Every structure is written in C-alpha cells, then in structure tokens.
C-alpha cells in the first residue's frame, strides 16, 4: 500500500510517516533504514548533526528501492549557517548520502544571536531550490516570531517547520502560525521520545505511559505509539518516529487501518501541558557552534 502523503506549499508530496534517525547509532542506522523501506516507509529524516547521513545512504542503497521513490530530508547544523557555508553544507550532505538532490533541506534550528547568519543560510536554501538541487526547503524549531522575522527577510515560504510535538507538548501557537503561513507542521518526538530519553532526568513524565492513551489504544487493539501517530495523521501533521528495532519500525507504520473519533482526538488534545520537554530554541549554548560538521 502506498503511504498517505501531504502536499507541501510548492506542490511536492511528502509521505505522512517517515523514519527518524536521531540517536540511531551509526552501526544500526543502515539496517533500520533498510528495514523501514522494506516495511513500506518512503521517507527518512536525518541531519548533519546526527552524524549518520552516510549510513542512511547505505540503508537506502541496500533496500534496492529506487531513489526516486524515497523522500530524503536532512538538516543544516548551526555551525554551517551563513550563505556560502550552507551551500557547502548541501555538498557535504549529498556526498555523505550518496545522492545528487535532496527532497527537503531544513535549518536545524534558528540561531537567534546570529540571526543574520540564519537568514543567509535560508537564502542559500532558496538558491539551492531555484537551482533544482533540493525539491523543497524549510526550518525546524522556529517559533512564530522566528517565522515572522524570516518572512520579512526572505522570499520563499518554508514548506515545513519541524518542531517538538507530542500529546504533552502540542505547541499550539506554532501550529497556528505554521497553518496561517501555509507551512506543514512536522512533529519531532511524535511518540514522545524526548519524554523518556535515557539520562535526561527522572522526573519527566513519560507520555508513552499515559493512562488516557492506554485506554484509547485498548479500545482499538493498538498501542499508545500507534494512537499518537494516528492523532498526528488525522490532524494533518507529518510525523517521523525513530526506532532501530524492526518490530517497532513495523508497529509505527501499522496505523492506516483504524481511525480515532472526535472525542478521542479531543481527549489527546487535552493532555497538552503547554510546556516543551526539549531545549528552548531561544536559549543558545556556546557548544552548539563549536560542533563542526565533517567533510565526509
């Protein structure tokens, strides 16, 4: 079965569900990508900063699936912001992935203290788009005010804004701003991974263990992860769940045969705490800029 897709603001189709590979160890990434593609996924989300673009490319080639059928998304890290630097970041990414063109290239996050460099990086994405090197461009972790400031300084509306988004952190203001601008909201940590990353503090509440999700899941004979992914799909968001486990990779894709009703969607919406679990994009850490991205 073909994956349902969303249509981006420039007409490009993006599969509704993709595989995320943040914290996928390099030696596990190629196998996870290959397993996902064999399961039916046609979209992979990686990033220069994840240091596994090479293994994503290996997994794609090992799958034997035609490159043209696969939607490849990657991100420019902040240490590569600036016009020439970002053009070069594209060269590094495509070299590692082993492809000529990217389906979606996004800025990993804003760098508010280096805003001119953020804008220059986005202008480089616009050039890559005009030259046909990428099929669509976008941003990640942009708040409404970042989107407004970007719109004042650039021409192309981002196709996608990838943000932390799971039942405990719905980021409604950003979802509204995205929708008003015609930007597709893409959920990172779509099944709440950031609420249970090991070593991130024990006091966080794990969304995967939420009783309301368990009840809805039980009613459908599905899991909490599948219910969360279905919630994204029905509300029109792209989602990129990460797993390196073949059974969970398959589970996260087995969401096209059931439907949440309005009451269930509202129950999940009501879990929002209006607080992010991940870092605030306006709070910068010096080490972010001291992380060079390797040439190959």
Q: Which residues bind ligand NAP (CB under 6 A)?
A: 20-22, 45, 108-109, 140-141, 162, 188-194, 208, 223, 225, 240-245, 248, 251-252
Q: Which is nearer to ligand NAP, 10 or 206 (CB)?
A: 206
Report the candidate in 135, 76, 69 with the shortest Cα–Cα distance to residue 102. Answer: 135
Distance in Å, CB of 178 to ligand NAP, minimum: 14
Q: Which is nearer to ligand NAP, 82 or 192 (CB)?
A: 192
Report the candidate in 68, 74, 60 with the shortest Cα–Cα distance to residue 128. Answer: 74
Q: Are strands 137-140 and 5-7 parallel, antiparallel or unpaired?
A: unpaired
DSSP state of 151: H
Q: Which is nearer to ligand NAP, 51 or 248 (CB)?
A: 248
Cα distance between residue 120 and residue 81, in whole Å: 7
Distance in Å, CB of 235 to ligand NAP, minimum: 16
DSSP state of 21: -
Q: Which residue's Cβ has the minimum distance to ligand NAP? A: 193
Report the candidate in 218, 181, 76, 190 with the shortest Cα–Cα distance to residue 137. Answer: 76
Which position among 50, 122, 168, 197 bears the catalytic label? Answer: 50
Judge whether 22 counts as a catalytic residue: no
Distance in Å, CB of 94 to ligand NAP, minimum: 18
By the 8 A CB rule, do 174 and 166 touch? no
Q: Which is nearer to ligand NAP, 19 or 99 (CB)?
A: 19
Distance in Å, CB of 192 to ligand NAP, minimum: 5
Cα distance between residue 158 and residue 137, in whole Å: 6
Which residue numbers are catalytic? 50
């Amino acid at each position: 079965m073909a994956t349902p897709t969303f249509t981006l603001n420039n007409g490009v189709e993006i599969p509704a569900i993709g595989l995320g590979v943040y914290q996928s160890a390099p030696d596990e990434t190629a196998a996870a990508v290959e397993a996902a593609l064999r399961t039916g996924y046609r979209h992979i989300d990686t990033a220069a900063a994840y240091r596994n673009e090479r293994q994503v490319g290996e997994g794609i080639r090992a799958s034997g699936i035609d490159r043209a059928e696969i939607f490849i998304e990657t991100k420019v890290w902040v240490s590569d912001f600036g016009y020439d630097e970002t053009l070069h970041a594209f060269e590094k990414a495509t070299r590692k992935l082993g492809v000529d063109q990217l389906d979606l290239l996004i800025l990993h996050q804003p760098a508010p203290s280096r805003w001119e460099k953020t804008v220059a990086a986005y202008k480089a994405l616009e050039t890559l788009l005009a030259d046909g090197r990428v099929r669509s461009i976008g941003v990640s972790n942009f708040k409404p005010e970042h989107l407004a400031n970007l719109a004042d300084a650039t021409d192309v509306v981002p196709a996608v804004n990838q943000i932390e988004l799971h039942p405990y952190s719905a980021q409604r203001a950003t979802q509204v701003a995205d929708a008003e601008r015609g930007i597709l909201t893409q959920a990172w940590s779509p099944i709440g991974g950031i609420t249970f990353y090991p070593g991130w503090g024990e006091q966080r509440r794990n969304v995967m263990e939420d009783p309301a999700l368990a009840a809805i899941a039980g009613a459908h004979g599905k899991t909490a992860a599948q219910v969360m992914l279905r919630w994204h799909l029905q509300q029109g968001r792209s989602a990129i769940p990460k797993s390196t486990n073949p059974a969970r990779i398959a589970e996260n894709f087995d969401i096209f045969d059931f439907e949440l009703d309005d009451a269930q969607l509202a129950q999940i919406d009501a879990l929002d705490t209006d607080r992010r679990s991940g870092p605030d994009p306006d709070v910068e850490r010096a080490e972010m800029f001291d992380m060079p991205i390797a040439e190959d």
